[in-house]
Structure 1
């Protein structure tokens, strides 16, 4: 059983569906999931409470390092086998998690195959051409800055992270003024076609950049590609390589 949406993304590719008792409820949320809603709906979900996990008595519980001490204690008292995942901020750290989970669920060959796909996608996306300044918007006015997995992937795919250029580390809020005064050449944006706050922020940026006559290539970068590592790395690297070609860089 997985309480972690990033573990969900790995498990659904590592083992057969009948071995997964439940995935995290986050994987049913398009804003938090790294798997498609079609895949997520095939599985039961849990909300991370000790009571529901104890009632199902899974052979293995995969949770994250932020799991509360009381929940950890409840799992320990019940004798549940648990695996707690930390935050992977580099490709190598994410690959280590793939190996850890694959070993825990007795799926080492599938794990090695997943790692091969990651390595191939990273290699295929690399270029010796000059880095192209880019901003990766997660939603609203939130961007991915330096010191993140996304930052490393962008650089390996031939982009320089313009949020890091502005001095932003990790994930955070970026005022529109920075973008207008010193725009990137590429903006990676999620699909925000509705009327939510993210769409309004994107519309405001578009209006401001147009007024400033800034030439910026906008490219869709699905929200599901920014939440986790593991198998998502291969998909994200492939998309980043596509964007470079689309932008003529």
Structure 2
């Protein structure tokens, strides 16, 4: 009998079962917010992340490299699948439906609901909030210090050259946003207001041609809308320059702020006075 048990244990240890992905064994932290996904990766070891949002595995919405995001379990954000994971903490959006919030509460889950920061100061405050919630004050402080260093290194003189930053297609970024503040910080003038655009909204190329900006920043250099806009502006004789602004820098603050500032500052330098 002892020999049989020993053989069974050896066979079990040599089984060809595939290793579990990060977070597949349950517990830990579940994030339902793509911006919280990337913030968690900056604050805690991967083993503490039980699941991330499905948005981070979508190239149109992620702020993470896809090869990194796909190492983690992802959820669609339903109450049933999150409760089944029995996490220590759920980080969700402030837009989470009341019914889902109520289900989390009935299940006794510890939850943290995050807003979408529209200023650098608010984003830094959110880093401190999440760091405190996950017991990572040291890493949170280090990330905040990196943001402070990036702000000091990229400060420019405004209002500077006018620029439009497209989030995708003909959807342009306007006033009252985190990207707007970062553009101003490096010394670029957000031209959205020239076309009567507040916050974020659609801006067709026909509107731009009448008064073209010095630069257009876009994450979709090869997209159909961007290609058409480029051709029409060239045909109109506009001297507008185009620069790539990676999609992974568009959606979130937090760890994205330093590379976003550095990219914007590089574009600002390329435009000259």
In structure 2, the CA distance between the partners of 1:153 and 1:93, relative to structure 1 (3 Å rule), is: same
Larger radius of gyration: 2
> By how many angstroms is 1:66 displaced?
0.7
Show the counterpart of 2:16: none
Give 1:179 shift: 1.1
Query: Pairwise CA RMSD of aligned residues?
Result: 1.1
Q: Which residue of 2 aligns with 1:227?
A: 251
- Taking CA–CA contacts closer than 8 Å with sequence separation of 6 or more, which of the two structures ends up with the larger relative contact order? 1
SS of residue paired to 1:22:
strand
Report the 3-state secondary structure (helix = DSSP H, G, I; strand = E; otherwise coil) of the residue aligned with 1:122: helix
> Alpha-carbon deviations, 1:84-112, whole Å to 9, x = none?
00121111111111110000000001001
Matched, 1:248 2:266: no
- Pair 1:173-2:197 in alignment: no
Distance change >3 Å, CA 204–CA 191, structure 1 → 2: closer
1:169-194 deviation per Cα after TM superposition (whole angstroms, max 9, x unaligned): 1111002122101111011111442x
Structure 2 gaps of 5+ residues are 1-29
Cα shift at 1:245:
2.1
CA distance in 1, matches of 2:158, 2:119: 22
1:25 matches 2:54: yes
Which ranges of structure 1 fall in alignment gaps of 5 or more residues? 194-198
- TM-score normalised over the length of structure 2: 0.87
CA–CA distance in 1 between the matches of 2:141 and 2:78? Answer: 32
CA distance in 2, matches of 1:225, 1:124: 18
CA distance in 1, matches of 2:59, 2:107: 33
User: Structure 1 240/141 Cα, relative in aligned 2: closer, same or farther at 3 Å?
Assistant: same
1:49-69: CA deviations, max 9, x gaps? 000111010000000011111
* Residue among 112, 118, 127 paired with 2:141: 112
- 1:246 Cα deviation after fit: 2.5
**Pair 1:122-2:151 in alignment:** yes
Dislocated runs of 4+, deviation >3 Å: none
**Larger mean Cα displacement after TM superposition, 106-115 or 169-178:** 169-178
SS of residue paired to 1:154: helix
